[in-house]
């Protein structure tokens, strides 16, 4: 199988590329714009494999997509490229509409033209990777199912919901063999540390305030990223066109419980944990402008990407890391 993966330098995309080239032995062309969220070093294990190729391109650039399809002749598309951080979508929604909606549209159109000209059309698959955030909040409603109505609540989840509807429409209207997956929060290596788990680990190690929004009782389900990658590889081979598949980890936890688990693993003594916990309670009660206590459970600031000694795409290419700090953790409390 020759798979065109979009967003393969991101957190989940890099796990997918490593798996498809490694365990599955597939050929992969990774199409990625290399935004701040990309980390090319996470692809080091396969960077020199003859089955792996990289094309730096924006999925909004239709001409670039057409020439990549023509050059690499994929037998499947696995579409992960997205702006993925809920909090960023609240302070600046334009890139979310551009990449997640317009970019998905351009990719669907490029795939449709390519698919229509194929001899062996039946074997082609377009797997569109989405999020369970399109269903809104699960609080008090049990689990999401494939037929749970869409109720997105942030610019991020609304842009992903729009992309899902476009992808399904390209199946029903044009017969493009689209398979849609909706996944819960992922965790694992090489995630950009603006997201809850890596941010909490780095801040706990550095004795800095820990990021929890409000009372921390928002519940999310957590899935290990390599399990998600395995699920997506299964969809490439066995996913039925027109179907939707939900992926979850069967591991629902309140955000505060996740932070406390990390404290247990990272902080050396119970005393230190107690100090952090009481400092955190104080931090939530502090008025704006007060200085936050060290290692308290609180809102926080971003750390650097320390995955495997990696640098971000921006720093790897010689430019500096974006200076504007991302917004504080939001009530949406989702991850992407």
Ligand X SMILES: NC(=O)c1ccc[n+]([C@@H]2O[C@H](COP(=O)([O-])OP(=O)(O)OC[C@H]3O[C@@H](n4cnc5c(N)ncnc54)[C@H](O)[C@@H]3O)[C@@H](O)[C@H]2O)c1
**Contacting ligand X (CB under 6 A), which of 3, 34, 78, 197?**
34
Contact 251, 221 (CB under 8 A): yes
- Please give the radius of gyration of the chain, using alpha carbons only, rounded to the nearest integer: 20
* Closest-approach residue to ligand X (CB): 10
Q: Which one, 10 or 296, has the nearer CB to ligand X?
A: 10
Contact 148, 136 (CB under 8 A): no
Ranges of beta strands (E only) in the chain are 2-6, 27-32, 52-56, 76-79, 125-131, 178-183, 185-187, 210-211, 219-224, 244-247, 252-254, 297-298
**Contacting ligand X (CB under 6 A), which of 3, 4, 5, 13?**
13
Dihedrals phi, psi of 268, to nearest 5 degrees: -70, -30
**Contacting ligand X (CB under 6 A), which of 17, 29, 38, 65?**
38
Nearest approach, Cβ of 284 to ligand X (angstroms)?
Answer: 25
- Does residue 132 carry a catalytic annotation? yes
Q: Which one, 221 or 260, has the nearer CB to ligand X?
A: 221
Nearest approach, Cβ of 160 to ligand X (angstroms)?
Answer: 5
| Greatest CA separation for the chain | 67
Nearest to 91 by CA among 336, 334, 333, 330: 330
Please tell me the distance from the alpha carbon of residue 72 to that of residue 24, in angstroms, as a whole number: 18
**Contacting ligand X (CB under 6 A), which of 20, 59, 77, 295?**
59
Please tell me the distance from the alpha carbon of residue 334 to that of residue 331, in angstroms, as a whole number: 8
Nearest to 15 by CA among 172, 220, 189: 189
Q: Which one, 90 or 272, has the nearer CB to ligand X?
A: 90
Window of 34-42, 64-72, 282-290, 319-327 that interacts with ligand X by CB under 6 A:
34-42
Which one of 32, 133, 194, 221 is the catalytic residue?
133
Contact 162, 108 (CB under 8 A): no
> How many residues interact with ligand X (rule CB under 6 A)?
32
Asked if residue 7 binds ligand X (CB under 6 A), the reply is yes
Asked if residue 103 binds ligand X (CB under 6 A), the reply is yes
250-279 mask for ligand X (x: CB under 6 A)?
A: ------------------------------
Window of 33-41, 113-121, 166-174, 321-329 that interacts with ligand X by CB under 6 A:
33-41
Between residue 65 and residue 94, which ones bind ligand X under the rule CB under 6 A? 80-84
Please tell me the distance from the alpha carbon of residue 190 to that of residue 26, in angstroms, as a whole number: 22
Sign of the dihedral through C-alpha 5, 10, 15, 17: positive
Asked if residue 10 binds ligand X (CB under 6 A), the reply is yes
Q: DSSP letters along 78-90, please?
A: EE------HHHHH
Q: Which one, 82 or 110, has the nearer CB to ligand X?
A: 82
Between residue 159 and residue 198, which ones bind ligand X under the rule CB under 6 A? 160, 183, 185-186, 192
The helix/strand/coil state of 176 is coil
Window of 17-25, 31-39, 143-151, 229-237 that interacts with ligand X by CB under 6 A:
31-39
Catalytic site residues? Answer: 132-133, 156
Q: Which residues of the chain form contacts with ligand X (CB under 6 A)?
A: 6-7, 9-13, 32-35, 37-38, 58-60, 80-84, 99, 103, 129, 131, 160, 183, 185-186, 192, 335-336
């Amino acid at each position: 199988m020759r798979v065109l993966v979009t967003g393969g330098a991101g957190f989940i995309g890099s796990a997918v590329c490593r798996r498809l080239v490694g365990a599955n032995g597939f050929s992969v062309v990774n199409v990625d714009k290399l935004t701040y969220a990309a980390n090319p070093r996470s692809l080091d294990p396969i960077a020199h494999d003859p089955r792996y190729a990289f094309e730096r391109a924006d999925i909004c650039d239709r001409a670039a997509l057409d020439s990549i399809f023509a050059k690499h002749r994929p037998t499947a598309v696995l579409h992960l490229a997205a702006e993925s951080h809920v909090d960023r979508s609240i302070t600046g929604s334009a890139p979310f509409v551009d990449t997640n909606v317009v970019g998905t549209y351009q990719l669907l159109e490029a795939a449709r033209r390519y698919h229509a000209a194929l001899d062996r059309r039946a074997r082609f698959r377009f797997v569109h990777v989405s999020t369970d955030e399109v269903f809104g909040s699960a609080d008090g409603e049990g689990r999401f199912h494939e037929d749970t109505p869409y109720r997105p609540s942030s610019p991020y989840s609304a842009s992903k919901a729009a992309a899902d509807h476009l992808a399904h429409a390209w199946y029903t209207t044009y017969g493009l063999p689209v398979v849609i997956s909706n996944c819960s929060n992922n965790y694992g290596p090489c995630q950009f540390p603006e997201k809850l788990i890596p941010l909490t680990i780095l801040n706990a190690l550095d004795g800095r305030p820990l990021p929890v929004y409000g009372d921390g009782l928002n519940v999310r389900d957590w899935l290990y990223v390599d399990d998600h990658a395995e699920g997506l590889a299964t969809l490439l081979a066995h996913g039925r066109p027109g179907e939707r598949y939900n992926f979850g980890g069967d591991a629902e936890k309140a955000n505060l419980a996740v932070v406390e688990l990390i404290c247990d693993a990272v902080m050396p003594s119970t005393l230190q944990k107690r100090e952090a916990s009481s400092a955190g309670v104080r931090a939530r009660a502090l008025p704006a402008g007060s200085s936050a206590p060290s290692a308290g459970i609180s809102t926080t600031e971003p750390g650097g990407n320390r995955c495997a000694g990696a640098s971000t795409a921006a720093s790897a290419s010689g430019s500096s890391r974006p200076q504007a700090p991302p917004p504080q953790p939001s009530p949406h409390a989702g991850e992407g």
